[in-house]
């Protein structure tokens, strides 16, 4: 979707520029290059956050996860915000269980927290626990908002489906009414013993023909007589009008 691409570009500018500055000043050049390359790809992945939500979330969060494990200390780049955005989009739009998205995301946070606790340079248990709690809080917040959006989208889809069904029912009723009230003319064709019979029955209300009368029936009778056929026409006792024309196959 075009709006997703525009959002990815906008976030790339807003978050990418300060990420370049922070990574350049806080890490070695090779590490900074790795972090910034991962951040750039993660930003690009947001362009498919609704078209391919699972792929987008897997790429964005996988790269942020790798970036978190790449250095012996935690470097929180602004571009890391693409991870909760992708989690939100995946929860809201993907055809996977929201609980699975939450479980994978929280497990990643626990791995990152444990890694900083066990890293040789060392972090105190309190610092590692605080970092883990912060990451889990961000993930749960993004997931909760995504779940809310998923519920809203499902409700909209349900209402649209009900509206479509109501429209189909209305059209069916209209067609039924039109057919039921407009089926006034019945045409029949029969072929037997070399004689073609055409009958037309109009089931409309009976009554005298409007004045002045025309010459349509008389003209049809004359043309059929030329072909050796006959024409019978007249009102029905039950209402309406009937015309029966017969034409014999030429010898």
The 10s digit of each residue's pLDDT in 73-90 is 667 788 889 999 999 999
The pLDDT score that the predictor gives to residue 150 is 94
Q: Which residues pair with 191 in a beta bridge?
A: 196
In whole angstroms, give the CA distance from residue 78 to residue 64.
11
| Residue spans per domain, the chain | 2-159, 185-248
Highest mean predicted confidence (pLDDT) among 119-128, 151-160, 195-204: 151-160
Q: What is the dihedral sign for C-alpha 159, 163, 168, 170?
A: positive
* Three-state secondary-structure class, residue 209: coil
Helix axes 98-118 and 82-93, enclosed angle (nearest 10): 160
What predicted TM-score, i.e. pTM, was given to this entire model?
0.63
| 212-239: pLDDT as tens digits | 566 777 878 888 888 778 888 888 877 7
Residues 142, 146, 149, 150: what is their CA dihedral angle, to the nearest 10 degrees? -170
Q: What single-letter DSSP state applies at residue 208?
A: P
Question: CA 8 to CA 14: how far, in whole Å?
Answer: 10
């Amino acid at each position: 979707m075009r709006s997703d691409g525009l959002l990815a570009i906008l976030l790339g500018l807003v978050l990418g520029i300060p990420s370049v500055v922070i990574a350049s000043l806080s890490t070695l050049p090779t590490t900074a290059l790795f972090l910034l390359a991962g951040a750039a790809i993660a930003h690009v992945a947001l362009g498919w956050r609704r078209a391919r939500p699972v792929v987008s979330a897997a790429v964005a969060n996988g790269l942020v996860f790798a970036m978190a494990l790449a250095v012996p200390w935690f470097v929180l780049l602004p571009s890391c915000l693409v991870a909760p955005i992708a989690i939100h989009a995946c929860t809201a739009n993907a055809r996977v269980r929201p609980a699975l998205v939450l479980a994978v995301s929280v497990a990643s946070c626990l791995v990152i927290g444990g890694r900083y606790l066990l890293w040789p340079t060392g972090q105190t248990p309190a610092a590692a626990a605080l970092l883990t709690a912060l990451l889990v809080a961000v993930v749960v917040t993004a997931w909760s908002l995504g779940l809310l959006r998923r519920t809203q989208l499902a409700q909209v889809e349900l209402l649209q489906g009900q509206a479509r069904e109501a429209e189909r029912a209305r059209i069916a009723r209209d067609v039924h009414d039109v057919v039921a009230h407009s089926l006034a003319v019945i045409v029949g064709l029969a072929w037997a013993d070399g004689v073609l019979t055409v009958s037309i029955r109009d089931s409309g209300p009976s009554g005298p023909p409007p004045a002045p009368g025309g010459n349509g029936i008389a003209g049809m009778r004359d043309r059929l007589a030329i072909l050796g056929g006959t024409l019978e026409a007249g009102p029905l006792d039950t209402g309406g009008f009937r015309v029966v024309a017969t034409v014999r196959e030429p010898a």
